[in-house]
Structure 1
Amino acid sequence: MQNVKVCIVGPSKHFLSGISYFIMRLANSLSASCSVSVICYRNLLPRFLFPGRAHVGKEISNLEFSPAVQVYDGMDYNNPVTWYRAYCHLRRTKPDIIILQWWTSSVSHMHLLMKIMGLSLRSRLVIDFHEVVDPLEESIFPLRLYSRLMGKILRKDLDTYIVHSTSDKFLVAKRYGIDAQKIHVIPHGLYDHYGRVMDAKKARELLSIKEELVILSFGLIRRYKGVPYLIKAFEQLPESIVKRSRLLIVGEMWEDGEELLCQIKSSPFTEKITLVDEYVPDSKVPVYFSAANIVVLPYTRASQSGIAHIAMSFGKPVIASDVGGLKESLGRYAGAIFVPPMDSDEIKKKLLLNLKSEKIYNPPALGWNKISDQYLKVVLRQ
């Protein structure tokens, strides 16, 4: 399919996020079978408004685009010169298909510009939903109005819509009034670019962890991630287990930071809880997952979880809430253990049953070659 030209649009490594990794993995895989270009959003919004501003611009990821991918890394929210250069990039590469990555309404005006540019070039337009509604944006009235207005204009009359779970398909169809026949489900690929699992003892030494049992919560700390329910579950474990355990909470705090810190400080087992408030560099990811006996994702809602796809790539058992697309993404993984959302008692029970397990599970067949093949079948179907 070398004659097919695809352009993927999404965030650059400057504002690094899980979506940045997604477009790099997808673009690199697609480049094996077609001509691929990428337009990266370099600056998404004023930095002081971004909860993760501490890591903006830092070189913390080793992943790069393949040399075969033509990249324009420099479209900024506030610089029309960069918008024109993005248009020049499109005119030069002449994509048959433009795939817009949707995860936040903060990039809506840039997405609308890309839509207009794509229509002028007669490209087919695709939107890939990584989130149905951002809960933070939905909770702030002006942002909610902006998101709904801009989103309605953006989503109107596109050629194809992509989601990563069946539950999201029905949510997107209902919430945005999109014909369900135009919405296609493509699984999320594994984030297996961090390397192999390390020796657990060595990993714990690197983290200065002396305990033999390690429970890991990983990823951005936001209200819907449900970390307080995990802390409560940890506190309910028998004291004999807690003495041998370390609850490791690792991730950049975006919401409810003070409440979480107070909960940890007031815990009867506060000395057994470690909070690492940072966006973790790629080099440290294998250390944290290798040190863990088990990964817990106590989400109260979810479309997908990049963390689940990291945990699966390292073969770790995962306790996850039975919510949204989370169960679907982990459904083919033998190491998945599901609990009702917001249920600390069930998390505790599953921890007791599985915490001491040293089994390494085989990840499901979610390689990016298969994911990119499904992408091409979907976007060329129209």
Structure 2
Amino acid sequence: MSLATLKLVVIGPAYPYRGGIAYFNTLLCQQLSARHEVLLCSFKKQYPRILFGGRSDRDPSEYAPRIACDYVLSALDPLSWLRCFSMIKRAAPDAIIFHWWVPFWAPAFGSLAWLIRHSLNVPVLLLCHNVLPHDPFPLAETLTRFVFRGAHAFIVQSERDLQDLRRLMPNSLVTKTHHPTYAPLAASRWPRSKAREQLGLTGPVLLYFGFVRPYKGVEYLLKAIPLVQRAMSVHLLIVGEFWDDKSRYLRLIQELGLESVVTVVDRYVPIEELGLYFDAADVIVLPYVDATQSGVIQLAYGFGKPVISTNVGGLAEVVRDGETGFLVKPRDANALAEGIVRFFNTHDVDWAANVERVQEHFAWKYMVEAIEELILQIRS
């Protein structure tokens, strides 16, 4: 069978659900659809309110990437799993791709994968965003193995995830390819001066973007700011919804006397507003204490921005130290401050040109080719 005629079923989040994986899934399906027939199966309902850390799981963006899909699955409704399986069976696909990122979906995905593997002669691929979760999750490894045993092959996006996968599933068929670019999400641009005028900013500007969660290390970034101020003035934008105790961070800002140099935007930012914050910033900062890969880096690159990141997980595979940003030691406010000051004191590097040059390494074609090659290996 020619790869040009493959029929693929993809299972994962999509608009109107929000978040990086929903964007990733939609962009992936758009790319796959250029060469194959794609049926996207998304969620009728995601998480129970008690398990969801945000205010809403719906995307407020007017111009979020979209693609036709069937909303079938509910995480805690076994009947919806059977309906999804029936839909897949009727579609008679050549392969099925599950997105994997958190063990909460293990009962649904594991049951579906088992049904597919034992009832249909169809390759099952797991595209892993995180092999294991960042935050503690009961029976995480047991639940993950339950799902992974139903798959024929895996795609991971960092060396860290590759190691975790090898430990959980020795001798599995796996390929590694980097998280693709989010440049398509960077269409709404602002002139730098206008963005800064809108936000009331002058001078050097740092941007932390994304959900504020314990593993993101925002407290280390806040503790670094007074150290940076000894050498230079700087303003920090913290833009993203808090999934942690916000009062703890506000208290730290007050204790450090940072009220005038830190702006907190505690909400999910729609796509059409991304340019306001990214174009106003000089550099994007990721102070993470744990990570596998990061869509925020790809979003930063999409806006042509360099990145200062801690050297954790797969982030060092994407941030080229001294070329597209700097890598610093995690859990260390001093190291983070030194990296920030070093960035602004480095005048012989064309950061934007370097970022533009590396974009080719993160083209979506590499993810599409990885999927195609795995399907061929399974079917051969």
TM-score w.r.t. length of structure 2:
0.90
1:213 counterpart letter in structure 2: P
The match for 1:33 is 35
Shifted more, 156-165 versus 362-371: the winner is 362-371
**Quick one: structure 1 residues 89 and 130, their matched pair in 2 at CA, closer, same or farther if it must change by over 3 Å?**
same
Deviation at 1:83, TM superposition (A): 3.1
**Quick one: structure 1 residues 355 and 196, their matched pair in 2 at CA, closer, same or farther if it must change by over 3 Å?**
farther
SS at match of 2:181: coil
Q: How does 1:50-89 map to 2 (within 5 A)?
A: 50-52=52-54, 54-60=55-61, 62-66=63-67, 71-89=69-87
Deviation at 1:61, TM superposition (A): 5.6
Structure 2 distance, partners of 1:9, 1:274, is 38
Structure 2 distance, partners of 1:37, 1:312, is 30
Shifted more, 232-241 versus 106-115: the winner is 232-241
1:216 aligns with 2:207: yes
Cα pair 1:130 1:163 within 8 Å, conserved: yes
The match for 1:44 is 46
Structure 2 distance, partners of 1:331, 1:289, is 20
Cα pair 1:200 1:290 within 8 Å, conserved: yes
The match for 1:354 is 343
The match for 1:372 is 368
Deviation at 1:282, TM superposition (A): 0.6
Deviation at 1:285, TM superposition (A): 0.9
Structure 2 distance, partners of 1:328, 1:240, is 30
1:82 counterpart letter in structure 2: S
Task: Let me know the Cα RMSD of the aligned residues.
Answer: 2.2
1:203 aligns with 2:199: no
Structure 2 distance, partners of 1:62, 1:369, is 23
The match for 2:161 is 168
The match for 1:316 is 305
1:232 aligns with 2:223: yes
Deviation at 1:379, TM superposition (A): 2.7
User: Which string of whole-angstrom CA distances, capped at 9 and with x for unpartnered residues, describes residues 126-164 of structure 1?
Assistant: 11221132232x2xxxx422x333322211152101110
Cα pair 1:12 1:42 within 8 Å, conserved: no
1:92 counterpart letter in structure 2: R
Question: Which of 95, 98, 101 is 2:99 aligned to?
Answer: 101
Structure 1 distance, partners of 2:34, 2:81, is 28
Cα pair 1:317 1:335 within 8 Å, conserved: yes
**Quick one: structure 1 residues 272 and 133, their matched pair in 2 at CA, closer, same or farther if it must change by over 3 Å?**
same
**Quick one: structure 1 residues 12 and 117, their matched pair in 2 at CA, closer, same or farther if it must change by over 3 Å?**
farther
The match for 2:120 is 121
Deviation at 1:63, TM superposition (A): 3.0
Q: How does 1:137-216 map to 2 (within 5 A)?
A: 138=136, 143-145=137-139, 147-174=140-167, 176-179=168-171, 182-194=173-185, 195=187, 197-206=189-198, 208-216=199-207
Structure 1 distance, partners of 2:115, 2:319, is 37
User: Which string of whole-angstrom CA distances, capped at 9 and with x for unpartnered residues, describes residues 105-131 of structure 1?
Assistant: 111111023213422222111112211
Shifted more, 308-317 versus 3-12: the winner is 3-12
1:44 counterpart letter in structure 2: Q
Cα pair 2:321 2:327 within 8 Å, conserved: no
Shifted more, 349-358 versus 118-127: the winner is 349-358
Structure 2 distance, partners of 1:128, 1:275, is 34
**Quick one: structure 1 residues 172 and 81, their matched pair in 2 at CA, closer, same or farther if it must change by over 3 Å?**
closer
The match for 1:257 is 246
Structure 1 distance, partners of 2:32, 2:363, is 12
User: Which string of whole-angstrom CA distances, capped at 9 and with x for unpartnered residues, describes residues 281-318 of structure 1?
Assistant: 11111111100011111111110110000011111121
1:373 counterpart letter in structure 2: E
**Quick one: structure 1 residues 153 and 229, their matched pair in 2 at CA, closer, same or farther if it must change by over 3 Å?**
same
The match for 2:130 is 131
Identity of aligned residues (%): 27
Cα pair 2:116 2:122 within 8 Å, conserved: yes
1:201 counterpart letter in structure 2: S
Cα pair 2:205 2:280 within 8 Å, conserved: yes
Shifted more, 287-296 versus 107-116: the winner is 107-116
Cα pair 2:325 2:343 within 8 Å, conserved: no
Structure 2 distance, partners of 1:217, 1:177, is 35
Structure 1 distance, partners of 2:245, 2:313, is 22
SS at match of 1:237: helix
Question: Which of 4, 19, 28 is 2:21 aligned to?
Answer: 19
Q: What residue ranges of structure 2 are gaps of 5+ in the alignment?
A: none
Structure 1 distance, partners of 2:271, 2:90, is 33
Structure 2 distance, partners of 1:272, 1:41, is 41
TM-score w.r.t. length of structure 1:
0.89
Deviation at 1:380, TM superposition (A): 2.0
Cα pair 1:165 1:329 within 8 Å, conserved: no
Structure 2 distance, partners of 1:79, 1:177, is 28
Structure 2 distance, partners of 1:135, 1:305, is 12
**Quick one: structure 1 residues 380 and 336, their matched pair in 2 at CA, closer, same or farther if it must change by over 3 Å?**
farther
Shifted more, 92-101 versus 333-342: the winner is 333-342
Structure 1 distance, partners of 2:128, 2:62, is 23
Shifted more, 300-309 versus 339-348: the winner is 339-348
**Quick one: structure 1 residues 163 and 332, their matched pair in 2 at CA, closer, same or farther if it must change by over 3 Å?**
farther
Q: What residue ranges of structure 1 are gaps of 5+ in the alignment?
A: none
Deviation at 1:7, TM superposition (A): 1.3
Structure 1 distance, partners of 2:272, 2:282, is 19
**Quick one: structure 1 residues 274 and 89, their matched pair in 2 at CA, closer, same or farther if it must change by over 3 Å?**
same
User: Which string of whole-angstrom CA distances, capped at 9 and with x for unpartnered residues, describes residues 164-212 of structure 1?
Assistant: 01232112212x1332x51210211011122164311111222x22322
SS at match of 2:12: strand
Aligned residues: 367
Cα pair 1:333 1:364 within 8 Å, conserved: no
SS at match of 1:38: strand
1:112 aligns with 2:110: yes
Structure 2 distance, partners of 1:247, 1:130, is 28
Deviation at 1:329, TM superposition (A): 2.3
**Quick one: structure 1 residues 78 and 224, their matched pair in 2 at CA, closer, same or farther if it must change by over 3 Å?**
closer
